[in-house]
Structure 1
Amino acid sequence: MKRVSRPLAAIAALALAAALIALGPSPAAAISPNLPASAPGIEYTAEPGDGAQRSSNGKGAAEMPTTPDDPIAPWLDDCLGSQDAKDSDGRVYNRFKWCKEFDLAVKYYKTENGKTVLKGVNQATYQAAGLGYNDSRATRTFFRIKPGTVRYTTWSNLEKLTTSKYLKLEISAECVPGSDSPGSGCAVGRSPAKMEWDQWNNFGGWVYWDVSSAGGKGEDFVAFHKWRFHFDGTSPGWPIPEERGETGPVGIRCDSGNYFKHGTRTYPHACIYTGAEPVLTYKMSENPEVGQHIRDAQNAPDTTWPKEDHPKKIPGKWNASVFLRGEPLHRVASRYEGGVIAKENEDVKQMACGQKRAINPWGPRYNATTGLPPYAPGLECDEYPFSSTHEGAADPEWDFSVRAVSKNDNGSAGSKLVNFYTDDRILMFLDDFWVDVVDA
């Protein structure tokens, strides 16, 4: 059996260099070229060629939100409220969403009597988030200082009033040098955003940047990149030795697979966040017959049809523990898309279901004893693993299960599988995925 490795990019721990140091927990945002400043205090530092590489969303760039939360399907508070978001690498909420909440600090020094003296430390909790485009090779990265979290420590009382709050903090998103896949490139189409610390403290809004991808390998032009936020607290009269500070890298994968669609709408390009393991979840309350079939196939395969002359082994079972998890499934082109593997899977399934109309209705591979017994008209023969997987009925390395289920349940479950392939951006042959059945 072919086995593919899971390309999950590791996200390194946060490291702020020298005078910029990382403290405890906090989430994210960024800024795009043609939009006006959303607060009077924001400055954008122009750089050579800046603003020319904004990614183009197929729906029109204006439809990508300018804040990371979704008013229809809120997710950000849930993401930021988790302990994982407080870790240095943040939380991959799902394949298209990432968040983080962490602390940053900038130490300010002065030279007095020939000695370098620490005058004060400005600290803040920042929030960050990322939304992958589903029809463009880009992700939008968001950043803000969590309102009311700026702290001024070590400063004298006079300097707190006259100096600390008026120093500048510059934020930018950038591609991590040397992290791109061979033959691909990463770009950010916006210069840094800069405000005084007190302005960041009261701003409350999000700034954002689009991180875009080009190139890649294979038919789907798959490329892996890492991006990060860069902090700079340098202010006039307050130089900071080795002032560069940055968060740990965040991994994304971009592709140009042309087989993703919902109805007539296609999604030929996308970037997703690596680190989330795709799981197709069926609820027993919604698909009781197919759900029970999959449960039995995963947990008690020898009780299922067809009968084999050896203990059956069926892959795809999800478990949070890698030690209890089944081998993953891998998507292939469906028979409706002309997929050869899927057609072979369908042929073997029909033999097991008794759908071959030859002398032996179970075909040459099964018979009345080993194949699925005749079932009532109006029912359909469901198979697991799915015919659109490499591990389907024709795979010599794995076994499979068939069962008669109602047409409505079978059709509903099939639609969820098709939607899952697009919603979780499951690349053919490349992505591991699992199946879970839950009661609620």
Structure 2
Amino acid sequence: MIYFKSRFAMCGALQLLQVWGKNGRPVGESSFAVTVLGTVPNANDRTVRFDYHFSNFAATPNAKTSGLIVNTTVEQRVLISHAQKRESGLIPPKKSFDALRTTPNYRHNVIFDAGQGSKPDDLITMAYVPYVSVKYPPGYVGTNPGPERVTFTAMNWDAATYLPNSRAADPTKRGGAAFTYKVALHYSSKQGAPEKAVADHINLAHTNPSKTKPPNSHKSVPGFDANRPLHRLYPGRDKPRYRANRRTAVSMCVKYWGRDYATSDPAGARECDEYPFASTYEGAAQHSKEPSAPKDNFSALPIPKGQNQAGGTILALFCDKNRILHGRDATGQEVDAYLMAID
């Protein structure tokens, strides 16, 4: 079982059952659980903490648990081979079932100093995979010796110049860390929400795309499925594409609402809102940049200026708070991604 609370907190858990055998027949049972809680406790720190907790110990009288050895190992796969991590604390050591029941809690910290990652965001990605196995005492056999995987998670360390803590006085401490979990950006469509018009537009594009412009009978906007997420396009990294996204969206507002769309509404000034956002690779110009991508798979709509700007502010804060990286590398491969949710 694995559960992500955010980009900075996750939990994995596993229940292990041992059925003991001796001389060809079952003689007892034992069981225990292990939970691994991964956290990034400080937004301006590069430390990732893994807390191990063993619990729910149970055994029948004939299970010689004093001789049952429990071994925890962790596979740490780093995509940047030359990057050197610093570790502190303790991965649970090899101990007997009984000894582990007496001392069930351990903490393992992992840190990569800045300056070791791939350019331009100084990115280091690592997979962290804990396993637990058991070894029965001499004369006994049993089920499920393992190793059994407790959980799997991956995390990024970065020092991107467009994200918080990029200018720490100590260059090795710049940037931060986050799990690669695809977190959702929430917009509210509730009455009174400052971004309501943005939320309503995105929801329409998602649930009833035939009612949006430009027309496209096959329109299916991304962002609401983990297999079709949004990939951030940081304008400073690819300004021409960002501008092309925006230009394409505005051209649709002009085409369907007239050149004066921004001032023609008696209720007040409007701006051309687009979904997917101009600051994503899935934006309005995607087809012109990636011919294999579907054409006109976006929506443009004039909405009140204040609400459009509120939506933009929320998006910017979301990217900062969650350390959302520029979504693709130089070869076009996914680096980071996020999802959408309308409340």
Match of 1:344 among 244, 257, 260: 244
Q: CA deviation at 1:401?
A: 0.9
Change (3 A) 1:193 1:182: closer
Tell me which residue corresponds to 1:391: 282
Match of 1:293 among 169, 193, 201: 201
Change (3 A) 1:109 1:288: same
**Equivalent residue of 2:206, what SS?**
helix
Output the CA distance in 2 between the equivalents of 1:121 and 1:186: 42
Task: Give the conservation status (yes or no) of the 8 Å contact 1:136–1:271.
Answer: no
Change (3 A) 1:263 1:404: farther
Output the CA distance in 1 between the equivalents of 2:177 and 2:233: 19
Match of 2:231 among 300, 308, 330: 330
Output the CA distance in 2 between the equivalents of 1:263 and 1:228: 30
**Equivalent residue of 1:150, what SS?**
strand
Aligned partner letter, 2:50: T
Tell me which residue corresponds to 1:96: 8
Q: CA deviation at 1:304?
A: 3.5
After TM superposition, list the pairs within 5 Å mapping 1:9-408 onto structure 2: 85=1, 90-105=2-17, 122-132=30-40, 134-135=43-44, 139-146=48-55, 149-155=56-62, 164=65, 172-176=72-76, 179-181=77-79, 183=81, 188-193=87-92, 197-198=97-98, 200-201=100-101, 206-212=105-111, 217=118, 219-220=120-121, 221-231=123-133, 245-248=147-150, 250-259=152-161, 261=163, 268-273=175-180, 276-285=181-190, 286=193, 287-305=195-213, 307=214, 311=217, 313=219, 315-319=221-225, 327-334=228-235, 339-353=239-253, 362=254, 366=255, 369=258, 372=261, 374-376=264-266, 377-395=268-286, 396=288, 397-398=295-296, 399-407=298-306
Q: CA deviation at 1:414?
A: 1.8
Output the CA distance in 2 between the equivalents of 1:283 and 1:151: 47
Aligned partner letter, 1:227: V
Change (3 A) 1:371 1:168: farther
Q: CA deviation at 1:295?
A: 1.7
Q: CA deviation at 1:117?
A: 9.7
Render the CA deviation track for 1:196-233: whole Å, top value 9, x for unaligned. Answer: 64564466x73210244585555333434232144566
Render the CA deviation track for 1:305-350: whole Å, top value 9, x for unaligned. Answer: 5x56x65736225158x6xxxx432211136x77332233333444
Aligned partner letter, 1:175: E
Q: How many residues align?
A: 311
Q: CA deviation at 1:272?
A: 0.9
Render the CA deviation track for 1:265-307: whole Å, top value 9, x for unaligned. Answer: 887231415xx443322221233221111122233345335x5
Deviates more, 1:189-198 or 1:221-230: 189-198
Change (3 A) 1:385 1:244: closer
**Equivalent residue of 1:139, what SS?**
strand
**Equivalent residue of 1:418, what SS?**
helix
**Equivalent residue of 1:295, what SS?**
helix
Aligned partner letter, 2:219: K
Output the CA distance in 2 between the equivalents of 1:347 and 1:184: 42
- C-alpha RMSD of matched pairs (Å): 4.3
Task: Give the conservation status (yes or no) of the 8 Å contact 1:170–1:231.
Answer: yes
Output the CA distance in 2 between the equivalents of 1:172 and 1:232: 9
Match of 1:415 among 291, 313, 316: 313
Considering Cα pairs closer than 8 Å and 6+ residues apart, tell me whether 1 or 2 has the greater RCO. Answer: 1
Q: Report which of the two has the higher share of strand.
A: 2
Change (3 A) 1:372 1:330: farther
Aligned partner letter, 1:91: Y
Aligned partner letter, 1:427: L
Q: TM-score, normalised by structure 1?
A: 0.56
Q: TM-score, normalised by structure 2?
A: 0.69
Output the CA distance in 2 between the equivalents of 1:312 and 1:191: 54
| Alignment gaps of 5+ in structure 1 | 1-84, 157-162, 354-361
Aligned sequence identity (%): 17
